[in-house]
Amino acid sequence: MYDIIIIGGGPAGLTAALYALRAEKSVLVLEKMGLGGQIALTDRVENFPGIAEISGFDFAEALSGQVKSLGGEIKYENVVEIRPGKEKIVVTPKNEYTAKSVIIATGVKNRLIGAEGEEKLIGRGISYCAVCDGSFYRGKTVAVIGGGNTALQDAEYLSQIATKVYLIHRRSEFRAEERLVRKLKTLENVEFLLNTTVERFCGDQKLSGLDLISTSDGKTRHIDLDGAFVAVGKVPQNEGFKGLVSLSDGGYVVAGEDCLTSVEGIFAAGDCRIKDVRQLTTAVGDGSVAALAASKYIDEKFA
């Protein structure tokens, strides 16, 4: 019997573990792949308060080291089911674990466009967060790929930093709000490339450009770039909890700033929950809130 089982070993989950352990609760973290989540793939982190610069990998290593030093247990197993009740049963293909409380911190994964070279160059010129990584491209040439509100907002943001911004969309019209389209049309350093898809992300160790193809006539072209920002959506990792906790239409766990889900004793933290801002700082904030809420729940329910 664990006091708290945390599903997910990203910044939210590891911070939750840290706070729960400091509250003298027994903790098991279950992570299906690797500790750190998406931040571990980030080359540089420069927007975390108090740390001028650190690699995402080093940040994840430091945070997981804190958890282990306090006696937290970490296992690499994929959670396939949670059985509710006063005591929760967390099921993996290998084992069943019992806990007084559960924190879901499974995060999201970026929706890839599937072009050649994309996975190889993630974090090496390809980013999925303009706010996180845009400052690295001051005075340089970048592209934003996508046609929704996020893509156009990213392009506007980057236009204030980069010398040149290409906005690449596979259709003839954007799905974004018309006011965003009108705004971008007034910016001299933003160029629209409509009816265009990315055939290849070019570069060996670092992105150097894109091979593009027209969806209207099949013609190809190459553009040289310093960075590319993919903005075609994110996918929450909550498939295994459908029917257990309330999910939004987009698949995010319905939980407010208190991190409470629709099921007593089950909390959600980080990017997997419905929220407006998904950043490293908000993830660790969620982790602390969820851990303290879970600890309070245990103290009251199992006194």
Q: Do residues 222 and 239 both lie within one domain?
A: no
- Res 234 pLDDT > 90: no
Q: Give the separation between CA 264 and CA 187, rounded to whole angstroms.
A: 50
Q: CATH no. for residue 88? A: 3.50.50.60
Q: Do residues 52 and 188 both lie within one domain?
A: no
Which of 230, 246, 264 terminates a domain? The answer is 230
Q: Do residues 75 and 162 both lie within one domain?
A: no
Q: Do residues 183 and 135 both lie within one domain?
A: yes
Number of domains the chain contains: 2
Q: Do residues 143 and 222 both lie within one domain?
A: yes
- Please enumerate in sequence order all residues whose Cβ is within 8 A of that of 223, keeping only pairs 6 or more positions apart, or say none: 143, 166, 209, 210, 212
Mean pLDDT of 32-46: 84
Instruction: pLDDT band for 2, please (50, 70, 90 cuts).
Output: very high
Which of 230, 260, 280 terminates a domain? The answer is 230
Instruction: pLDDT band for 215, please (50, 70, 90 cuts).
Output: very high
Q: Do residues 34 and 96 both lie within one domain?
A: yes
Helix axes 11-22, 280-301, angle to 10 degrees: 40
Model-level pTM? Answer: 0.78
Which of 170, 203, 230 terminates a domain? The answer is 230
Extract the tokens encoding 177. 């709000």
Cα of 218 vs its chain's centroid, Å: 34
- Res 293 pLDDT > 80: yes
Residue positions annotated with a catalytic role: 129, 132-133
Model confidence pLDDT, tens digit, residues 118-171: 999 998 999 998 988 999 999 999 999 999 998 999 999 999 999 999 999 999
Instruction: pLDDT band for 112, please (50, 70, 90 cuts).
Output: very high
pLDDT at 87 (0 to 100):
96
Q: Do residues 104 and 75 both lie within one domain?
A: yes
Domain that holds residue 34: 2-110+234-301
Model confidence pLDDT, tens digit, residues 42-99: 778 888 999 999 988 999 999 999 999 999 999 999 999 999 999 999 999 999 999 9
